[in-house]
Structure 1
Amino acid sequence: MPSITKTVGVVVGLAAVASALPALPKLTPKQTHIYNLAKRQNAAAAALGLADVDILQFALTLEWLEATFYQQGFALFGDDQFRALGLNDVQLADLKGIGSSELTHVGLLQSAIAQAGVQPVQPCEYNFGFTDAAGMVATAAILESVGVSAYLGAAPLVSDGGILGTAGSILTVEARHQSFIRVATGAAASPSPFDTPLGPKAIFSLAAPFITSCPAGSNLVLTAFPTLALVSPAPAAGVSALAAGTVLQFQSDAAAGATHCGFTNSAATGGTAFAPFDAAAGTCALPHNLAGTVYVTLTSAAPITGVLTDDITVAGPTVLNLS
């Protein structure tokens, strides 16, 4: 057993060395906030039982969905139907290129997962509800927004720098996909100075309605929240014209347990703006100062911090594109 005298000597020596080192720069309040947020998110990942390879599997599940979405859509609808929407030949080629990119992302993620000694998840069976080319492009705009939010939300959960770099290289391309589709459909290319991250469970809840079944061994460890749907105004009417204060009506089998609507958007303080929810009518009012893609959930609380967590999420999210 080391003596107390020796132990004290070591501590004093270390203190002397430390005092001789140059002072390290202190974190700014903003950097400290980001650091603490990252720690909370990593703790959340641990609580969900997600290791780095699980996050890669989660990303691969989304990429399989997106790649299959474009494959099925282009097989169903001819070029003339997309040109009828106002897309020129260059834009049509770009749209098809997005589908090719998603398939390439699948290959990259499969390789990374296999290198970790794990069997990559396989594609599932999907029901995208295709009826026409216009509906496909509208759904593509939502999927690409969700893809950006998925990679943003997963980034702080990843501990391996190499994996984070790979995810970042996909994220930037997903953002370009999103911007292209927004411009091609007449929406603002960049309606907000920041994109909105979402946690894995919220992202999976957005993807789950498209998935009818998955092969054995390809089911994620995540479970989806109860679904949430916008009833009024009708989504087909175009929600981009909605003004702050507009009363929105939602439907969910879990609505009885909700007290608020949470509108998650980068423009909201803390990430989410909360509005009281009338469970009897299924309604809440659209808050002010939101733009671009907004994710709406039903919640059981409304923290003044604006931080939405899984434990207060009752149903959702569903997507509003406000500009």
Structure 2
Amino acid sequence: MFSKTSLLSLVAATAVFAAPTPVTDTDVLQFALTLENLENAFYSQGLAQYDAKAFTDAGFPDWVRGRFVQIGEHEAAHVQFLNGALGAAATKPCQYNFPHNSPATFAALSLALESVGDAAYLGAAGLLSDKGPWNGAFDAPLTPSGAFSLASLFVKSCPSSNPALPVTTFPALTISTGTPAPGATVSLKFTLPQGQAQPANTYVAWLNGLDVLYSDLAKDGTTSVPAGLAGVVFATLVSSKAAPNDTNMMTGFTIVQFPFDSFARSG
């Protein structure tokens, strides 16, 4: 697996020696810090809101909050590391809105944010000038634009002094009706930018690890969930059955979870 820490260490080293590229290693660092600022704020705010008693009252074992504290400390260390690498030019934290109201919803949102963060780092690894990094066998890499579009759902406002990132913010995609399960029919909700018509052939791309499965989007906005999906899956609308990218993506990603146990049984 290619971890956050691995990419942070690598990009900090290559940023000094890399030749100029359309997307620079500094851009990748700023992108990473944008996500780390969000995650750092999520844990610091959430843990200040829910004490140990709140977690145990919600039915969690007494050690669970301590694990979230450790994750929060890691995110704070990542922010400190990236700020040190970027210096005065480092992007500043934004104002955020995290939709949780209990330890349970906080834990669920933590899984979503960490999944986005890991996938974003895997996708950003390919933008480094040093092409040595490798992706893990099971994590899905997201394009920076796809990851940023997901993260932007939690952002209320940012300092005007923050450097612009070389990303596109796509419209949101949500599953409005139906329970996502293999073979189930679900309805998708999205709004295309003004002036952009929906292509005659529109597909839902389901990113599951390194696999991308496709399903047709009907004119009424429904689609059939493919079989074989497991774990955390990212779904987006695309205009072709090429790997999702800034050219064929019509919306941002939505996160869908297909739980499975240690015997790979879904449910």
Which residue matches 1:275?
215
Report deviation, 1:97.
1.1
| Residue 247, structure 1, aligned to residue 185, structure 2 | yes
How far apart, CA to CA, are the structure 1 residues paired with 2:176 and 2:98? 19
Question: 1:115-134 maps to which residues of 2 (within 5 A)?
Answer: 119-134=89-104
C-alpha contact 1:52 1:160 (8 A) present in aligned 2:
no
Q: Which protein has greater RCO, CA pairs closer than 8 Å, 6+ apart? A: 2
Which residue matches 2:263?
none
How far apart, CA to CA, are the structure 1 residues paired with 2:154 and 2:252? 14
Question: 1:60-99 maps to which residues of 2 (within 5 A)?
Answer: 60-99=33-72
How far apart, CA to CA, are the structure 1 residues paired with 2:72 and 2:65? 11
After superposition, give the CA deviation of every residue in 1:127-178 in whole Å (9 maximum; x if it has no partner).
Answer: 11232221111000000111111111111211148xx88xx9xx99xxxxxx
| Residue 318, structure 1, aligned to residue 243, structure 2 | no
Question: 1:281-300 maps to which residues of 2 (within 5 A)?
Answer: 281-300=220-239
Which residue matches 1:5?
none
How far apart, CA to CA, are the structure 2 residues paired with 1:85 and 1:104? 29
Question: 1:1-323 maps to which residues of 2 (within 5 A)?
Answer: 49-114=22-87, 119-160=89-130, 194-218=138-162, 219-233=164-178, 239=180, 242=181, 244-254=182-192, 257=198, 259-266=202-209, 268=211, 272-279=212-219, 281-303=220-242, 307-323=243-259
SS at match of 2:63: helix
Report deviation, 1:88.
2.3
Report deviation, 1:267.
5.5
How far apart, CA to CA, are the structure 2 residues paired with 1:56 and 1:109? 7
C-alpha contact 2:55 2:62 (8 A) present in aligned 1:
no
How far apart, CA to CA, are the structure 1 residues paired with 2:127 and 2:252? 22
SS at match of 1:89: coil
Which residue matches 1:22?
none
SS at match of 1:274: strand
TM-score (normalised: structure 2): 0.81
Q: What CA RMSD, in Å, does the superposition of the two structures yield over aligned residues? A: 2.4
CA, structure 1 residues 90+132, in 2 after alignment: closer, same or farther (shift >3 Å)? Answer: closer
Tell me the matched-pair count: 234
- Give the AA of the match of 2:28: I
TM-score (normalised: structure 1): 0.67
How far apart, CA to CA, are the structure 2 residues paired with 1:84 and 1:291? 30
Q: Which structure shows the higher helix fraction?
A: 1
C-alpha contact 1:230 1:249 (8 A) present in aligned 2:
yes
C-alpha contact 2:148 2:167 (8 A) present in aligned 1:
yes
C-alpha contact 1:267 1:290 (8 A) present in aligned 2:
no
CA, structure 1 residues 309+58, in 2 after alignment: closer, same or farther (shift >3 Å)? Answer: same
C-alpha contact 1:301 1:312 (8 A) present in aligned 2:
yes
SS at match of 1:50: coil
Indicate the percent of aligned positions where both proteins have the same amino acid. Answer: 36
- Give the AA of the match of 1:154: A
C-alpha contact 2:100 2:109 (8 A) present in aligned 1:
no
How far apart, CA to CA, are the structure 2 residues paired with 1:63 and 1:70? 11
- Give the AA of the match of 1:318: T
Which residue matches 2:264?
none
After superposition, give the CA deviation of every residue in 1:250-269 in whole Å (9 maximum; x if it has no partner).
Answer: 1011296151111111252x
Report deviation, 1:71.
1.1
